[in-house]
Amino acid sequence: MALTKEQIAQRIARELKDGFYVNLGIGIPTLVANYIPEGINVVLQSENGLLGMGPFPFEGEEDPDLINAGKQTITTVPGSAFFDSAMSFGMIRAGKVDLTVLGAMEVSEEGDIANWKIPGKMVKGMGGAMDLVASAKNIIVAMMHSNPKGESKLLPRCTLPLTGVKCVKKIITDMAVLDVTDKGFKLLERAPGVSVDDIKARTSGKLIIEGDIPEIQF
């Protein structure tokens, strides 16, 4: 059975290491914060100018001056720091953020990503996505394996306007965990009950399958 969004987030959370500074994008990536493993301390960066993002505030305790990059009201944790947007993207560009998790419309087998624009539709803008993907040293994409029409989002080449080139390192979808390698998408794990053939059928970019592919354990 394909993973739920929560399960995708839960699986991504296993990629976190103690002491990581992490930037989580809007959508599934945001959920990762709910599954940080015991004993692992990570600091969440929000590119609008915060290190040490905490959970949503309690009802009635929202602070209009305290939001995340998705414009949601949030809180801080002890040890947090505020800074301006130039320093925020400065630390991203300088590789100080250890892991960036974001969503995508398409990823190519070379690690290109498209997630900001659909020709013919109203374009809202790239926000900080282009800065993040151009700079982050470790990018995990969290997304559904197929789009709502059932077409693969893992492609030989992206068909949509790019957000960044050769930057995605790992993809975690509802069907599988894959590394982006020089030779294509390397299948690492599969969702419980999802077969390698299912994944093959839904992956239009080059898929590398070596040996036995274990199921993701929950």
Partner 1 sequence: MNKVVADANEAIHDIQDGAILMLGGFGLCGIPEKCIAALVAKGVMQLTCISNNAGIDDFGVGLMLRQKQVKKMISSYVGENAEFERQLLSGELEVELIPQGTLATRCMAAGYGMPAVYTPAGVGTEVAEGKEVRHFNGKDYLLEYAFQADFAIVKAWKGDTDGNLIYKETARNFNPLMAMAGKTTIAEVEELVPAGKLDPDAIHTPGIYVHRIFQGTGYEKRIEQKTVRKKHP
Extract the tokens encoding 187.
Answer: 């299948």
Q: How far is the CB of 49 from partner 1 (least distance, A)?
A: 5
Q: How far is the CB of 180 from partner 1 (least distance, A)?
A: 15
Q: How far is the CB of 32 from partner 1 (least distance, A)?
A: 16
- CB < 8 Å & 24+ apart, contacts of 114-123: 114/158, 114/159, 114/160, 114/161, 114/162, 114/163, 115/163, 116/161, 116/163, 117/160, 117/161, 118/160, 119/160, 119/161
Chain centre distance of CA 109 = 16
Q: Which is catalytic among the residues 6, 15, 38, 47?
A: 47
Is residue 110 among the annotated active site residues? no
> Given the complex with partner 1, which of 116 and 185 has the nearer CB atom?
116
Please report, for residues 42, 127, 157, 210, the alpha-carbon distance to residue 47 in angstroms, rounded to integers and kept in the order given: 16, 10, 29, 38
> Given the complex with partner 1, which of 79 and 150 has the nearer CB atom?
79
> Given the complex with partner 1, which of 134 and 201 has the nearer CB atom?
134
Nearest to 113 by CA among 157, 69, 47, 178: 157
> Given the complex with partner 1, which of 70 and 179 has the nearer CB atom?
70
Q: How far is the CB of 83 from partner 1 (least distance, A)?
A: 6
Query: Which residues are designated catalytic?
Result: 47
